[in-house]
Chain A
Amino acid sequence: MKFKLSALLGACAVVSLATAGAVQAETITIATVNNGDMIRMQGYTSQFTQETGIDVEWVTLEENVLRERVTTDISTKGGQFDIMTIGMYETPIWGKNGWLVPLNDLSADYDAADILPAMSGGLSYDGTLYAAPFYGESSMIMYRTDLMQKAGLTMPDSPTWDFIRQAAAAMTDRANDINGICLRGKAGWGEGGAFITAMSNSFGARWFDMDWKAQFDTPQWHDTLTFFKGMMDESGPAGYATNGFNENLSLFQQGKCGMWIDATVAASFVTNPKDSMVADSVGFALAPHKDGVAKNANWLWAWALAIPAGTQKVDAAKQFIEWATSKNYIELVAANEGWANVPPGARTSLYENPNYISVPFAKMTLDSILSADPNHPTVDPVPYVGVQFAAIPEFAGIATEVSQEFSAAYAGQQTVDEALAKAQALTTDAMEAAGY
């Protein structure tokens, strides 16, 4: 133990000496989330520093911690970061408040028009782009082609929920530890909350009506939740009420799920033979919809880079953003790690690139992204923007509490009706408190 530590310290000292020797230059501080693509980006930072002479300091945090950290900082104008990694939820809210530097003057080389319209739309407020997408995602069905075949079924390109439920039941094989379907049940607005909201859209439900009244007392929500719980109790894994993205990814990679409906970026993980035992038998399909409802249950999200207003280093920050979200960066990653590992879902040109379109999940990712419309997410009109969220500041807090009630229902600690009644009460209360 002692030996190990001193060895470590020694190694660290060498590393820090090496970096301390670099040229004194402008340094920007970037807050980011610890997702694989961002970690990869950190690895290439030295290239950026070489090209521009700008040093980069990373603050890498787990998603929940990051959100709080940057939200506190920007709302108090703390000025701790020159670039923040934020999502489609934060961008329009902060842009509206004038807290972000507009990104409408990026260089011609950068080709801002190449950003997928769905992405630039979700990352703009009032027509002005406030954050540049690093990668974008929707959600889709990932399923085991071998199990599907064994069950004697064929996955349509755009299945209905009834088909999914039936297929899930047919694929389930408890004796061999195979669950027909794995879905997020974990509390948290970005976890199970995101899934159930996107799913509710495909059942014709909505969060708020045009007067910002909560809608959990509607039959559509009741159907959504009853269907979800029914299907998961039948064919889902034990303990699904605490499963989020990560847990399901691990289950799917270990061959324990027949189907998984989740972020399109997961496709590159489940088809990577290094991590996934089922890499060669994964098929993709559009997220399901309810028979007779024109909305599918897929969401739209982007992790994007934004510059907080007030930073002294706007130019350096813009240079970094142009570098990290450029076509060249995609080429750089492709050259070093293969096309399947480039940050997806941000640029049109990527999906026109013959090298990329041959990646098995590329087409379905694009189709899913294109079929999500944050401006008209639901069947009935809504006063908010956002598919699996409503872009108002109160949403994260409310949706987290609502999803906690739902998770308690999934775990069997209360009924669906109780959960919905509580959700309705607490949403109404919170919206009143916020003065809607």
Chain B
Amino acid sequence: MARAVTTRRKAINTAIAWAVGLLIFFPILWIFLMSFKSEGDAIKAPLDMLSAPWTLESYGVVQERSDYFKHFSNSVLLSFGSTLLGLIIAVPAAWAMAFVPSKRTKDVLMWMLSTKMLPAVGVLYPIYLLFISLGILDSQLGLIVVLMLINLPIIIWMLYTYFKEIPGEILEAARMDGASLRDEVLYVLTPMAIPGMASTVLLNVILAWNEAFWTLKLTAANAAPLTAFIASYSSPEGLFYAKLSAASVMAIAPILIMGWFSQKQLVRGLTFGAVK
């Protein structure tokens, strides 16, 4: 039985929800608007700022000063690369934990999550020295591995919860039909877990895109992603609001747009097994 909803109630819901949504979104909207103003206008009172003339000046300056495209492609490479590598390693592990559980499965999962609690800055020197000896400082590969390791526990956990919801009987049936373990994972399990995988990928791309400690400390000119691009626009001498806004918009726009297009996926899949 569907709930009867009056138009009036729906209108009220709509009004409240939009008001709240716009309030939460407002800071992003604000820097977006600010990025099209001149530096002098950007610091004016809100109404004066809005009525000031629009200009692409700041984008021009940012464009001239930084190699946006290089940072952007590094961000894409690092976030998707680390997620892909993470999936390759996580799928078998999550499969094993979901379908061949043992007494210790829960402990293993918790232990994996706990590796995320090691404070990054405490191990900066050890990792930096390690990277030097491996010769992978400022290389995309080195960062892909680090970002993958940082997010691996989350990937495994998410996949594990999706896999667990797949009924075991289907797998049994496949096995009866003579499917090997490999076939089982590739042709039976994976297609069923696609929605879950999609949201896993999304979440991890976002997390990797936004990671701002290792991507700053372990890069120089070659592998630096957009987080380093931002670090050259934060608090320089003189007025900087408009330029910082423009740089920020350029840094977050790609991931924001990706997020918008895939938000249905994200909403459907982001459960961490929270839904029974």
Query: A-side interface residues toward B, CB under 8 Å?
Result: 1-2, 4-5, 8-9, 11-13, 15-16, 19, 29, 31, 34-36, 39, 42-43, 57-63, 65, 68-69, 72-73, 76-81, 245-246, 249-250, 253, 269, 275
Q: Which residues of A contact B132 (CB under 8 A)?
A: 76-79
Question: When the two chains form the complex, which single residue of A4, A62, A72, A269 contacts B124, counting CB atoms closer than 8 Å?
Answer: A72
Majority SS of interface residues in chain B?
helix
B232 within 8 A of A: yes
Q: Which of B44-92 contact A (CB under 8 A)?
A: 59, 63-70, 72
Q: How far is the CA of A9 from the CA of B59 in the complex (A)?
A: 12
Closest 7 CB pairs of A and B: A12-B69, A57-B221, A60-B232, A80-B220, A34-B236, A62-B234, A29-B221
Known: A31-B220, A76-B128. 10 other contacts (CB 8 A): A5-B257, A15-B67, A35-B236, A35-B237, A39-B236, A60-B232, A63-B235, A72-B124, A79-B137, A249-B238
Known: A15-B63, A65-B216, A250-B43. A8 touches B228 (CB 8 A): no
* A5, A42, A269 interface centre (most CB from chain B within 10 Å): A5
Q: Which residues of A contact B221 (CB under 8 A)?
A: 29, 57-59
Question: When the two chains form the complex, which single residue of A13, A43, A269 contacts B69, counting CB atoms closer than 8 Å?
Answer: A13
Q: How far is the CA of A245 from the CA of B131 in the complex (A)?
A: 36
Q: Is the CB of B232 within 8 A of A16?
A: no
Q: Which residues of B contact A79 (CB under 8 A)?
A: 132, 137
* B63, B233, B236 interface centre (most CB from chain A within 10 Å): B236
Known: A60-B232, A77-B132, A250-B43. A269 touches B237 (CB 8 A): yes
Q: Is the CB of A36 within 8 A of B128?
A: no
Q: How large is the interface on B (under 10, 10 to 19, 20 to 34, 35 or more residues)?
A: 35 or more
Query: B-side interface residues toward A, CB under 8 Å?
Result: 39-40, 43, 59, 63-70, 72, 124-125, 128-129, 131-132, 137-138, 216-217, 220-222, 224, 228, 231-240, 250, 253-254, 257
Q: Is the CB of B231 within 8 A of A246?
A: no
Across the interface, name the chain B residue whose C-beta is closest to A62: B234
Across the interface, name the chain A residue whose C-beta is closest to B256: A1
Q: Which residues of B contact A13 (CB under 8 A)?
A: 69
Question: When the two chains form the complex, which single residue of A11, A29, A76 contacts B129, counting CB atoms closer than 8 Å?
Answer: A76
Q: How far is the CA of A78 from the CA of B134 in the complex (A)?
A: 11
Question: When the two chains form the complex, which single residue of A4, A16, A39, A72 contacts B217, counting CB atoms closer than 8 Å?
Answer: A72
CB distance from B52 to the nearest CB of A (A): 16
Q: Is the CB of B238 within 8 A of A36?
A: yes
> Can you sample 25 A-B contacts with CB below 8 Å?
A5-B257, A11-B63, A12-B68, A12-B72, A13-B69, A16-B67, A16-B70, A19-B67, A34-B236, A35-B236, A58-B221, A59-B221, A59-B224, A60-B65, A61-B232, A62-B232, A65-B216, A65-B234, A68-B217, A72-B217, A79-B137, A246-B236, A246-B238, A249-B238, A253-B239
Q: Is the CB of B257 within 8 A of A246?
A: no
Q: Which residues of A contact B238 (CB under 8 A)?
A: 36, 246, 249-250, 269, 275
Q: Is the CB of A8 within 8 A of B220?
A: no
Q: Is the CB of A65 within 8 A of B220?
A: no
Q: Is the CB of B66 within 8 A of A60?
A: yes
Q: How far is the CA of A369 from the CA of B47 in the complex (A)?
A: 44
Q: Which residues of A contact B72 (CB under 8 A)?
A: 9, 12
Across the interface, name the chain B residue whose C-beta is closest to A2: B257
Q: How far is the CA of A246 from the CA of B239 in the complex (A)?
A: 8
Q: Which residues of B contact A43 (CB under 8 A)?
A: 64
Q: How far is the CA of A160 from the CA of B91 in the complex (A)?
A: 72
Q: Is the CB of A1 within 8 A of B253?
A: yes
Q: Which residues of B contact A253 (CB under 8 A)?
A: 239
Q: Which residues of A contact B138 (CB under 8 A)?
A: 80
Across the interface, name the chain A residue whose C-beta is closest to B249: A4
Q: Is the CB of A36 within 8 A of B220?
A: no
Q: How far is the CA of A29 from the CA of B43 in the complex (A)?
A: 35
CB distance from B115 to the nearest CB of A (A): 23
Q: Is the CB of B216 within 8 A of A69?
A: yes
Q: Is the CB of A36 within 8 A of B43?
A: no
Q: Which residues of A contact B129 (CB under 8 A)?
A: 76
Q: Which residues of A contact B228 (CB under 8 A)?
A: 59, 61
CB distance from B116 to the nearest CB of A (A): 23
Q: Which residues of A contact B239 (CB under 8 A)?
A: 250, 253, 275
Question: When the two chains form the complex, which single residue of B67, B125, B253 contacts A76, counting CB atoms closer than 8 Å?
Answer: B125
Q: How far is the CA of A73 from the CA of B220 in the complex (A)?
A: 10
Q: How far is the CA of A39 from the CA of B65 in the complex (A)?
A: 8
* A4, A11, A43, A77 interface centre (most CB from chain B within 10 Å): A4
Q: Is the CB of B254 within 8 A of A5?
A: yes
Q: Which residues of B contact A72 (CB under 8 A)?
A: 124-125, 128, 217
Q: Is the CB of B220 within 8 A of A61?
A: no
Q: How far is the CA of A365 from the CA of B43 in the complex (A)?
A: 30
Q: How far is the CA of A112 from the CA of B260 in the complex (A)?
A: 58
Q: How far is the CA of A4 from the CA of B222 in the complex (A)?
A: 26
